[in-house]
A and B are shown apart, each in its own frame.
Chain A
Amino acid sequence: MNTLIKPVHISLISLVLFLSASLGLANDEPSPEIPEGVVKLTKVDPARNVGYLMGDILDRTITLEVKKPYKLIETTLPIVGYEHRYQGQVSGIELRKISHTKKESNTSTVYVVQLSYQVFATAPTVKPALLPAEIVKFQGPSTSEAKDGLVQYRIPEFYFRSSPMAVFGAVKIEDDMSPLRQPLLLQAYPVKQKLVACLIILGLSLLGLLYIVGARAWLPLMGKPFAKAVRQTRKLSPKDADALKTALLSMHQAFNTSAKYSVFSDNIAEFIAQKSSFKTIEAEMRQFFALSHQVFFETHNASSDEAKSLNWVKSFGKQCRDCERGLKPAKQNKA
């Protein structure tokens, strides 16, 4: 197996290892401080600095405005999961999330770094703790101090106090069961808010479902064929082209959909036998078919007063809608 590795391969592997080691050293080794006035720091630290328990999350927003030609080396930003040590001991503060944005202008570049730390340290008493200082590096012009142009900047730490989960030795449940003390309650407000939001979403979904199931009508009776036809014909004006034809077509469609077969003047009796509520408007139905015949089939006998006929069809539609809903339809004048 060893015979397969040629001296050339060994040289190449060595070179790669050497280069990566040199780069690692370049990143880890301290560099000269960035000249004063090049970086302008703005930071937003957590609102309070006491009372943090294990598991709490602390967010920091660091804004670095860096004059050109300095550029942030993004690989020098802290990495998620890095366990910070203080005086050789694990500090119990862990970087949980990091993100950054970059915005360039003519003279400077603004880096906004969002850092999110989680507390894993706990102690029986209140202890000082800190969000560690982070050192980031910039690539700038070559100077006498930094010949390779690498300079560093230290983002200052944030001091706070971590609190114990319970006061050591002070709490003995058996001794502290006074009936006058109310039980410890969880914070219910956010949960209530979520519950209300979920209920609103559920309500809207049910309404949507009702709308779909009800043939896209908000009320159960709205989706019926004649109700639809009335909605379609209501907006028609005598000035519209073919308004009367459109209205008649809507009504024919409603009759056909309602009966589930094509309704003609020769099967009105069959339709009424099927839907007895229409019996009261049998004469109007015959009048409707006579008008339809005039418009569609006896074109040379078509009525000249289309507006009057259109109004008649509209009110006939309402009569049909009433019959469809089981109501007593209003009487109307002849067309």
Chain B
Amino acid sequence: MSEKKLTDWRQHAQKLEAEINKVVVGQQSPIRLITTAIFSRGHVLLEGDVGVGKTTLLRAFTRCIGGGYQRIEGTIDLMPNDLVYHTYLGEDGKPHVSPGPLLMSGENLSVFFFNEINRARPQVHSLLLRVMAERTLSAFNKEYHFPHMLVFADRNQVEKEETFEIPSAARDRFMMEIPILVPDDNAIMESLVFDTKFHNVDALVDSIQADVLQFDQLNEFSALLQARVDASPTLRQYALNLWRATKTPSDYGVKVSGVDMNRLVLAGASPRGMSMMMRAARVNAWLNNRDSVLPEDIHAVFHSTVAHRLVFSPVYEMRRTEIARELLSGIVNAVAAP
């Protein structure tokens, strides 16, 4: 029975990817990673330049997942209570309080989309920390649960004015940080510019099939999937070696050009980060129709699940993206399996 479930859900996942690939072109790798995150029940942070399709991509996924969808724009004056409730004067002239974006869909909230997260203040990040980690919120003397909620966030990496750096604790809550780059294929670039279907984002998103996945069954299926995909002792040892290498890369002979390796890493990947990496690797194995995790499954999710968790010396923070990419590639190259 569970075998059939695994097969059926794989078909759903393939359908989901196919639908998204229809409207967001040239982003197969980020689409595969977001699909992986959805089935691993992990939050996703997209990072990229302005106008590369981050929001469109997340909106498309939201439509396919189904369930309650809420969205908020990060601004410098956004306060935590703006996520929980808003007040207004009603037609009767009296003040009223209505639920904010987090509470509006109740337990059916499946996607909470936080646009331009780095424009929000640390107080907002702090509220988000709890919501992401525990999927609960206390408001109006009541505890609210969001068992199906995934946080999709994006941030613009170019602009630094009126933005707040997301603290490492908040970054660690995200299962993946996925860079979105402009495709460099000429045909795709031409189509993005000249194909009129890409000009109206709302119509584009509406063109894909809604509710491809049953959002309220994802938790149960994810647990089944994690239980059914095996990790052999050799694979476990390999994952542990990778983890150690993120803490002390110089012990594994990893070098990054122009960087003092003894000063680079202040903190390697966290245990939560490594467990998220393994969850994502299991999903990747399942998506590839396997029931055991291979090192290649870890490689497929290694950068996106680990890079944003590494804490570097402040002197190297400005070059984080470039250094993290080179460091993690070096680790994968240096650690052997078996």
Contact B234 A297, beta carbon cutoff 8 Å: yes
B235 to chain A: closest CB distance in Å?
5
Of the candidates A245, A252, A293, the one whose C-beta lies within 8 Å of that of B336 is A252
Contact B294 A262, beta carbon cutoff 8 Å: no
Please tell me if B332 contacts chain A, counting CB pairs below 8 Å: yes
Please tell me if B293 contacts chain A, counting CB pairs below 8 Å: yes
Please tell me if A266 contacts chain B, counting CB pairs below 8 Å: yes
| Chain B interface, DSSP helix/strand/loop, else mixed | mixed
Q: Mark A291-332, 1 if CB is under 8 A from B, else 0.
A: 011001111110000000000000000000000000000000
Interface residues of B in 63-120 (CB under 8 A from A): none
Q: How far is the CA of A261 from the CA of B291 in the complex (A)?
A: 27
Question: For A248, what are the chain B residues with a Cβ–Cβ distance below 8 Å?
Answer: 338
Q: Mark B235-264, 1 if CB is under 8 A from A, else 0.
A: 100000000000000000000000000000
Question: For A266, what are the chain B residues with a Cβ–Cβ distance below 8 Å?
Answer: 296, 299-300
A110 to chain B: closest CB distance in Å?
68
Question: For A261, what are the chain B residues with a Cβ–Cβ distance below 8 Å?
Answer: 333-334
Contact B338 A300, beta carbon cutoff 8 Å: no
Please tell me if A265 contacts chain B, counting CB pairs below 8 Å: yes
Interface residues of A in 236-277 (CB under 8 A from B): 245, 248-249, 252-253, 256, 261-262, 264-266
CB-CB nearest in chain A for B335: A262
Of the candidates A245, A262, A292, A298, the one whose C-beta lies within 8 Å of that of B290 is A298
Q: How far is the CA of A329 from the CA of B337 in the complex (A)?
A: 26
Question: For B234, what are the chain A residues with a Cβ–Cβ distance below 8 Å?
Answer: 296-297
Of the candidates A252, A262, A292, A301, the one whose C-beta lies within 8 Å of that of B334 is A262
Contact A256 B336, beta carbon cutoff 8 Å: yes
CB-CB nearest in chain B for A257: B336
Contact B235 A297, beta carbon cutoff 8 Å: yes
A257 to chain B: closest CB distance in Å?
10
Contact A297 B335, beta carbon cutoff 8 Å: no
B7 to chain A: closest CB distance in Å?
17
B223 to chain A: closest CB distance in Å?
21
* Sample of 8 further A-B pairs with CB below 8 A, known A249-B338, A266-B296, A296-B234: A253-B336, A256-B336, A262-B336, A262-B337, A264-B296, A292-B338, A298-B230, A300-B292
Chain A interface (Cβ within 8 Å of chain B)? 245, 248-249, 252-253, 256, 261-262, 264-266, 292-293, 296-301
